[in-house]
Each structure stands twice: as C-alpha cells, then as structure tokens.
Amino acid sequence: MRLRNIPRAEGVLQAHEKVIKEETGHRGNWAGVFGNDRPVYIEIGMGKGQFLTAMAKRFPDRNFIGIERYSSVLLRAVERLDRMEEPPENIRFICMDAAQISEVFGPGEVAGIYLNFSDPWPKKRHARRRLTSKEFFARYDAVLAAEGTVEFKTDNQELFTFSLEQADEAGWRVLARTRDLHRDPQMNQGNVMTEYEEKFSAKGNPICKLIAARHLPA
C-alpha cells in the first residue's frame, strides 16, 4: 500500500490510546494491556484496518492487534476507528516491522495470525521479505499457540503457490485451501472482506485463501 508521507502521523499515533508504544514491554503480558485474558489475534500488514475493525466488532470475546509498518497507513486505520459511532474496545495497533514479532509476543501468546493481500515482493532476491516465506513461518512458530492458525488471502496466484510451498517446507500443514474463495461456500462462510479483497474481486480477480497450522487438529 503506497501512501504519501503524512507528517502529522507520528504525533497522532503517539497520542492515541489504542496505539501501543514500546511494544516490546508487553511481551508475555498482553492480557494486562487488554485487561482480560481473551485470546489475542493479530493481522500483519493491516493497511487501513477495514478487516481488523470488522473482526473486532464481530468477535467481542477476542482481542485484536493490527500490525502495520508505515505510520501514514496506520494513521488511516486509527482515523477509521475514531469515526466509528461505537468503536470496539478489543482492538490495538502497533507500528512496526513484523520481522520483530518474537520480541513483542511470547511463545504461544498469539491465538491466530491473519495475512491479507501481503506485498508480493516479486523479485526472487526479496523472497525472504514475503510474509509467507519460510523465514516468516519460523517467526510465527515462535509466537503462535499450539492450535493456532495462519490465514492468508491474496489474489496473486504466484504468491499463493509460493506460500503453499513455503508452508510445506517450513513443516506446516495446510488445513484448507482454495483458489476461488468467493465461489467456495465452505471456506467463504463468515468471510470478512479486506479493502484489497473488495478492490481486486471487483476487477474479477479470484481470491485465494489458505489456512495453515503446525499440527493437524486432534
């Protein structure tokens, strides 16, 4: 997501009560941040927050943390929350590079990870930067609960194929997959559309989705 730099973004984020500052200080104690021990779900590369705010509304018994690298993009998510008549309580934001997540969450502290329309990094030499590379799966391994899943959506067929291969190489199991989510009644059930998903499906692009876990459910 490209957005021009917005100079006021840093200041607004610093002052906002839902934006976590010094995120490494809460490692192992996210229940303390939310004031309850409900499961914590994270979206990495949340963009302007459409998916995360909708999920937080839909699941009030869960906690949600959106991670976004760029302050100018995160600003839009914060502004979206502020515009809501009844903003959900169970949501927080962190401005950071997701490569550092094991410094922010302790082992097993994350119940589930959402990756939506992650940047494709098309050059082969940048493959390690893709959020579904095996290097990132190893980072997820360090923070995800035993039964936790990674859910990934994209309209990029090559990135989806890469992601399936990388999950396998990283020793994860793909529990479910589709290359046409909106025509797959089972996987599409309860689907919450992201901003990019709306944009690309309106153009006629089929949406791919996978759900990966480290273990098969018992």
Minimum distance of ligand SAM from residue 74's CB (angstroms)? 8
Is residue 79 marked as binding? no
Coil vs helix vs strand at 82? helix
- Judged by beta carbon, residue 63 or residue 133, the one nearer ligand SAM is 133
The answer to whether residues 106 and 28 touch, using CB atoms and an 8 Å cutoff, is yes
Minimum distance of ligand SAM from residue 96's CB (angstroms)? 7
CB atoms within 10 A of CB 125: 7
Rounded to whole angstroms, the Cα distance separating 163 from 161 reads 5
Is residue 195 marked as binding? yes
Longest CA pairwise span in the chain (Å): 50
Measured in whole angstroms, how far is the alpha carbon of residue 35 from the centre of its chain?
A: 22
Token code pair at residue 129: 């930067």
Is residue 119 marked as binding? yes
- Judged by beta carbon, residue 35 or residue 204, the one nearer ligand SAM is 204
| Set 61, 82, 119, 141: catalytic member | 119
Rounded to whole angstroms, the Cα distance separating 74 from 9 reads 8
- Judged by beta carbon, residue 190 or residue 217, the one nearer ligand SAM is 190
Judge whether 141 counts as a catalytic residue. Answer: no
Token code pair at residue 149: 């899943």
Binding residues for ligand SAM (CB under 6 A)? 1, 44-47, 67-70, 73, 97-99, 116-119, 194-197
Is residue 123 marked as binding? yes
Cite the annotated binding site by residue number: 43, 68, 97, 119, 123, 155, 194-197
Q: Which residues are catalytic?
A: 119
The binding site for S-adenosyl-L-methionine comprises: 43, 68, 97, 119
